[in-house]
Structure 1
Amino acid sequence: MTSIKEQAAISRLLSFLQEWDNAGKVTRSHILDKFIETNQGKTAPELEQEFSQGASLFLVRLTTSLRITYVTDSCLAKLLRSIGIFLSAVSSNRYLIEFLEVGGVLTLLKILGLEKIKEEAKKESVKLLQVIANSGRTYKELICESYGVRSIAEFLAKSKSEETQEEVQVLLDSLVHGNPKYQNQVYKGLIALLPCESPKAQQLSLQTLRTAQSIVGTTHPSIVDCVLKVLGTMHLEVQYEAIELIKDLVGYDVRQALLKGLVALLIPSVKETSKLQAKILSDPSVLQLTPSLPMFLQQAAAAKAIGYVRKGMGEELYQLFLSNAEDLYMKLDSIQADILAANKVNVTKALCLHGSSYSMDTLYGSHDSAQMAYLTHFEKEDVESKE
């Protein structure tokens, strides 16, 4: 037999559940506000005590309401925060399973793709996906199997809130760790994000790609072209992350393609050059550089990266690279090979000292091997004078 105290607790629970079932939108909003305020941070045992061992009865009502009303955005953010209290509670594995069994992951991913839903609710959805992903490998695989990487990546590209985008980065970083079955899928999704129009999304994707690259261990063929194109951005924080990733990629099998691409960026195409010349001829009083600015930015960034390569290779090996890069690997001796394998440089100092001279000299026109050698000599004198 239950005690009088237990009977009273059960009665309160039934009364609370009945109030929820009969409530309208406004009343339910107030109930959620009170629940969030009084139960934030509680453990699963504490929640069970609060609901007289019937916490799951309220959770199932929250998940049901979520599935029915998420399209209309009615109290959606509060619903998600309330569910988050259950899923993030210590010893909450039972709640997590109950949420997943009713299609919780698919619902959260659908929320990210609906334009009418407010950013706040989407942010809460991302946080719940973080909780699920951090619960273990099985749950990360479930998100990926639900086409989660694509949904999450697309949302990162479209989101207008930098705070929300940073939460998405945390989620993607979680999905690439401890997820060997789908880590390549996350890696490819990050590469696919690089051409997007959001500078913040590009920056965060490049940062996460550095981690993903070290975990995956092999490179995707499209990464070189995608990263080199990013160098044309007008956002210096994005260009910085791209150069940092390039430094990492030099240690992989795309090194030769990467170096060729960087050198190629120093030489403007005939098409781009002719466009600029036509504008100069048509209006000699005004030089309009804006349409060609991304090309010049690519040149400057490529020069910075190549300055890093010179320090890493050493002067003799670097000159050999400039004279005939295609046959470089055939002319290496054992000492030069060891230099490439073991040489370490102060990259920050190198970029600081080399950035200005390369950038100014590569903005106007193309350079052959002899001209590049001259620029290298000029740069060396500039550095020595600064020291």
Structure 2
Amino acid sequence: MTSIKEQAAISRLLSFLQDWDNAGKVARNNILNNFIEANQGKTAPELEQEFSQGASLFLVRLTTWLRLTYMTGSPLDKLLRSIGVFLSAVSSNRYLIEFLEVGGVLTLLEILALNKIKEEDKKESVKLLQVIANSGRKYKELICESYGVRSIAEFLAKSKSEETQEEVQVLLDSLIHGNPKYQNQVYKGLIALLPCASPKAQQLALQTLRTAQSIIGTTHPSIVDCVLKVLCTMHLEVQYEGKGDGRGWLWFPDLRGTSPPIEITLRTVLLRN
């Protein structure tokens, strides 16, 4: 039989869920504020204890609300942060699987592409993608299989917030590590960023390309022209990253000494700058 204490805990859970189900936008935001304040940093077992072994019942409500509202342009930061409490909790694999099973990755990627969604909300989406990517190789592969590299790279190029762009760089760096099946896809996505109009995005792409180049080892032909153009930029911070080892061979070491036209062009550009 269920003890009186357990019955009381279940009753509190059902009351909490009923309050959420009956609440409007303002009341739900208040519930989210209280939830984040009370549960940020808790482990999965602690969350289960808090919700009388029914934490997933609240998580499914959060993910459902996200799917219903994200295309309307409604503020999402508190909702995404609340989902993050579950996904970032220690021993949270169960919550992660539940989120992914309802299309969580695709929703987060679609948020990045919607113009009506605020930059701050998109940053929270990137942070959740970081949590997912850092959970293991198969989750990195899932992001890449969902056309994630393209969506993430395009958002980096278009973002107007340097802080958000730096969060995107962290995500791309995570995707290039421990992801042999799709590391070339990430590598090519970084190269595709070099001609973009955002100097900050170019700088961050070059920084991450250094890591990608060392992991992959071989040079993609398209990087040569892109790096040479970057070296001619008026933005000194981009020039600095583009020069790499100071001689430019960081980007295509396997072409050293094998292509005189490239070597001559590279030296000319470096001397000019």
TM tier relative to shorter chain: over 0.9
Output the aligned Cα RMSD. Answer: 1.3
Q: What are the within-5 Å matches in structure 2 for residues 57-96 of structure 1?
A: 57-96=57-96
Q: What are the within-5 Å matches in structure 2 for residues 8-19 of structure 1?
A: 8-19=8-19
Asked if residue 163 in structure 1 is aligned to residue 163 in structure 2, the reply is: yes
Report the alpha carbon displacement of residue 254 of structure 1 after superposing the two structures with TM.
5.6
- Whether contact under 8 Å (2:9, 2:52) holds in the other structure is yes
- Whether contact under 8 Å (2:184, 2:216) holds in the other structure is yes
**Cα distance in structure 2, aligned partners of 1:95 and 1:26:** 26
TM-score (norm. length: structure 1) = 0.68
Deviation digits for residues 17-73 of structure 1 (CA, Å, limit 9, x no counterpart):
000001000000000000011100000000000000000000000000000001123
SS in 2 for 1:252: helix
Deviation digits for residues 272-326 of structure 1 (CA, Å, limit 9, x no counterpart):
xxxxxxxxxxxxxxxxxxxxxxxxxxx4xx21xxxxxxxxxxxxxxxxxxxxxxx
Q: Which has the higher contact order (CA 8 A, sep 6+)?
A: 2
Deviation digits for residues 247-287 of structure 1 (CA, Å, limit 9, x no counterpart):
41352236535313224xx4xxxxxxxxxxxxxxxxxxxxx
User: In the alignment, which residue of structure 1 is the partner of 2:263?
Assistant: 259
- Whether contact under 8 Å (1:13, 1:52) holds in the other structure is yes
Q: Counterpart amino acid of 1:171?
A: L
Give the number of aligned pairs.
269
**Cα distance in structure 2, aligned partners of 1:79 and 1:28:** 9
Asked if residue 202 in structure 1 is aligned to residue 202 in structure 2, the reply is: yes
Structure 2 alignment gaps of length 5 or more: none
**Cα distance in structure 2, aligned partners of 1:202 and 1:254:** 24
Taking every aligned residue pair, what percent have the same amino acid on both sides?
81
User: In the alignment, which residue of structure 2 is the partner of 1:55?
Assistant: 55
Structure 1 alignment gaps of length 5 or more: 267-298, 304-357, 360-387
Asked if residue 32 in structure 1 is aligned to residue 36 in structure 2, the reply is: no
| Alpha carbons of structure 1 residues 250 and 219: separation in structure 2 relative to 1, 3 Å | closer
SS in 2 for 1:197: coil
Runs (4 or more) in structure 1 with deviation over 6 Å come to: none
Deviation digits for residues 322-347 of structure 1 (CA, Å, limit 9, x no counterpart):
xxxxxxxxxxxxxxxxxxxxxxxxxx
Which entry has the higher C-alpha Rg, 1 or 2? 1
TM-score (norm. length: structure 2) = 0.96
**Cα distance in structure 1, aligned partners of 2:72 and 2:47:** 29
SS in 1 for 2:181: coil
- Whether contact under 8 Å (1:250, 1:258) holds in the other structure is no
**Cα distance in structure 2, aligned partners of 1:124 and 1:147:** 19
Asked if residue 148 in structure 1 is aligned to residue 148 in structure 2, the reply is: yes
